Amino acid sequence: MSELALFGGEKAVKTQNPDMIKWPIYTSEEEEAVLDVLRKASMSGLDVTRQFEREFAEWMGMEYALAFNNGTASLLGAMYGVGVRKGDEIICPSITYWASCTQAMSLGATVVFANIDKKTLCIDPDDIERKITKKTKAIMVVHYLSHPADMDRIMEIAAKYNVKVIEDVSHAQGGMYKGKKLGTFGDVAAMSLMTGKSFAIGEGGMLVTNNREIYEHAIATGTYERFNDSEITCEDLRPFTGLPLIGNKHRMHQMSSAVGRVQLKYYDERCAEIRKAMNYFWDLLDGVPGLRAHRVDETTGSTMAGFYAAHGIYVAEELGGLSITRFCEAVRAEGVDCCYPGCNAALHTHALFQIADVYGDGKPIRIANSDEDIRKYDDNLASAEEIGAMIYWIPWLKKFIPSEIEEYAIPVYYMNAVKKAYETGEKVEIEYLK
Ligand SMILES: *Cc1c(COP(=O)(O)O)cnc(C)c1O
């Protein structure tokens, strides 16, 4: 075996093709669309946004789509839309981006954290059931790192206890679960469309639902110019049209909606190529000790959407306890710059969810509106905390160019990484290294 790059050997990734890694993908068509908005000075208008909404709803196969200035705002709209109010509980996985749940506290709701499944990295249905109480209003389901959550079980639990389901599709736009599009299972779905995400339009968010009442209540949270008598039919809202109910303004910037309209035309095609590249990457590494793909079996009709924030699962025991930190260090040296351990840190451990008194309640915001100290139900979230030592970033490959993907994936350099660690004293006892 050749010397590890970490110790001066040749790098495994020799062809540093910028198109393989570059994000977002766009052409002069997006540039023209943005310039058109600028030239018409319609940055703050609604016409392009409404077109984008119609096209997005059609693509999702949903009745209503509502655009927001970001994903955070769209998720707040979804929460208010399904009826999350003061004293209600919302169950959210502890491992996700903060905007899956933090806004709920501004509605006076209580965030209850659930564990994640170690294989899907999405919310664990058994823990949802354990944490449901009479106050549970909604379950926030995140299709985390592009992996579809276990929707069969989740919808079954939601029906059994009569709670709402919100899907946060920020990582998995266009993805499928058993042949059905993610974001079409729950009462409502909302998602980020910011530049780093799989569906990248700049800053933006989108809510989709088939429920008129949810749609109108989401409108009431921050799109005041359409919160008017011609659009609002709900009796509880009609007396208040004209002003946003919770004092926010969340309109999408039309340069973003213009980019979104163009992105939508090519989105499925681009995701299909990314999936082809990423699945090829994982096929090459199939069976390598210590490495497990974080992906679905596509023959079941499920997909990994656009493989946003692609990760691998690391099994240190199969590599003689070699630390993930050391492993990633060796892989980075081979030219895979993104390879670091971890993902989002477990939310329940953050001081905001433990001690911060944000609104002057005289007690922490997380429990300001709950009768008992729900922080005690964080007791079983240790595996959520361990996740940082279990998963690592892999390259997000945008092009299906087998020879280049092989440079990123050839098992040899993973083995080399292990071999070198073995030589430098960390105990690794694996048959193929002897
Ligand atoms: C990015 C993200 C959001 C928030 O979206 P913004 O557009 O950044 O406001 C919400 N949920 C998840 C899971 C995200 O990754």
For the segment 360-364, the average pLDDT, to the nearest whole number, is: 95
How far CA 8 is from CA of 263, 324, 428, in Å, comes to 42, 21, 21
pLDDT one-digit tens code per residue, 45-58: 999 999 999 999 99
Task: Provide CB contacts within 8 A for 335, sequence distance 6+.
Answer: 5, 11, 12, 13, 14, 16, 407
Which DSSP helix (H) or strand (E) runs through 79?
helix 71-81
215 C-beta closer than 6 A to ligand 1: no
Q: Tell me if 168 CB under 6 Å of ligand 1.
A: yes
Q: 97 CA distance to ligand 1 centroid (A)?
A: 6
pLDDT greater than 60 at residue 323: yes
Range with top average pLDDT, 191-195, 332-336, 379-383? 191-195
Torsion of CA 189, 193, 198, 201, to 10 degrees: 150
DSSP labels, 38-68: HHTT-TT-SHHHHHHHHHHHHHHT-SEEEEE
Q: How many A from CA of 176 to the centre of ligand 1?
A: 19
- Cα-to-centroid distance, 412 and ligand 1 (Å): 36
More confident residue, 319 or 80: 80
Tell me: pLDDT of 290 over 90. no
Average pLDDT of the chain, as a whole number: 93
CA 96 to ligand 1: nearest atom = 13
The reply to whether ligand 1 has any atom less than 6 angstroms from the CB of 192 is yes
Ligand 1 pocket, mutate which of 69, 76, 90, 97 (most atoms under 8 A from CB): 97
Q: What's the rounded mean pLDDT across residues 385-411?
A: 90
Using CA positions, which residue lies closest to atom 10 of ligand 1? Answer: 99
CB 165 within 8 A of CB 155: yes
For residue 294, give the nearest of 313, 308, 281 by alpha carbon: 313
- Confirm if 426 and 322 have CB atoms less than 8 A apart: yes
Ligand 1 pocket test, pick from 197, 201, 259, 308 with the greatest ligand atom count within 8 Å of Cβ, gives 197
- Taking the CA of residue 197 as reference, the ligand 1 atom at the shortest distance is 1
Residue 420 has pLDDT above 70, yes or no: no
* Ligand 1 and 71: CB distance under 6 A: yes
What is the tens place of the pLDDT at every residue in 20-54? 999 999 999 999 999 999 999 999 999 999 999 99
Percentage of residues in the chain having pLDDT higher than 90: 80
Residue 429, pLDDT score: 43
Angle, CA 377 vertex, CA 373 and CA 383 arms, to 5°: 145
Q: What is the DSSP letter of 418?
A: H
- pLDDT for the residue numbered 382: 80
Among 116, 191, 195, name the best residue to mutate to test ligand 1's pocket (greatest count of ligand atoms within 8 A of Cβ).
191
Nearest Cα residue to 71 out of 176, 172, 184: 172
Average pLDDT over residues 299-323: 92
Ligand 1 neighbour 69 (Cβ under 6 A)? no
pLDDT at 413: 64
Ligand 1 in reach of 198 Cβ (< 6 A): no
Q: Which atom of ligand 1 is nearest to the CA of 204?
A: 7
Q: Which two tokens stand for residue 58?
A: 């059609």
The confidence band for 432, taking pLDDT boundaries of 50, 70 and 90, is: very low
Residues 67-94, mean pLDDT to the nearest whole number: 98
Region 123-129 average pLDDT: 97
For residue 71, the CA-to-ligand 1 centroid distance in Å is 5
CA distance 132 to 77: 22
User: Relative to the CA of 205, which ligand 1 atom is closest?
Assistant: 7
The SS3 call for residue 206 is strand
- How, if at all, do strands 188-192 and 164-168 pair? parallel
The model carries a pTM of 0.95
- Encode pLDDT of 401-417 as tens digits: 999 999 998 766 666 66
Per the omega criterion (within 30 degrees of 0), is the bond before 148 cis? no
Say how far apart CA 215 and CA 193 lie, in whole Å: 19
Token output for 157: 């639990």
Beta-strand (E) ranges in 158-255? 164-168, 176-177, 180-181, 188-192, 205-209
- How sure is the predictor about 239, in pLDDT bands with cuts at 50, 70 and 90? very high
Write the DSSP string, 235-298. TTTGGGTTS-TTS---PPPHHHHHHHHHHHHHHHHHHHHHHHHHHHHHHHHTT-TTEEE----G
| pLDDT, mean of residues 387-392 | 86
Residue 198: DSSP 8-state: S
Q: Which domains does the chain have, with CATH numbers?
A: 5-24+266-342+388-433 (3.90.1150.10), 28-262 (3.40.640.10)
Cβ–Cβ contacts within 10 Å for residue 316, how many? Answer: 15
Extract the tokens encoding 275.
């999936």
Q: Which atom of ligand 1 is nearest to the CA of 144?
A: 13
Give the per-residue pLDDT at 431.
Answer: 37
> Which ligand 1 atom is at minimum distance from the Cα of 75?
10
Overall average pLDDT of the 268-281 stretch = 97
Given the CA of residue 309, which atom of ligand 1 is nearest to it?
15
Show Cβ contacts of residue 199 under 8 Å, excluding neighbours closer than 6 positions.
173, 174, 191, 193, 260, 263, 267, 306
**70 Cβ closer than 6 Å to some ligand 1 atom:** yes
Q: Is 223 in the pocket of ligand 1 (CB under 6 A)?
A: no
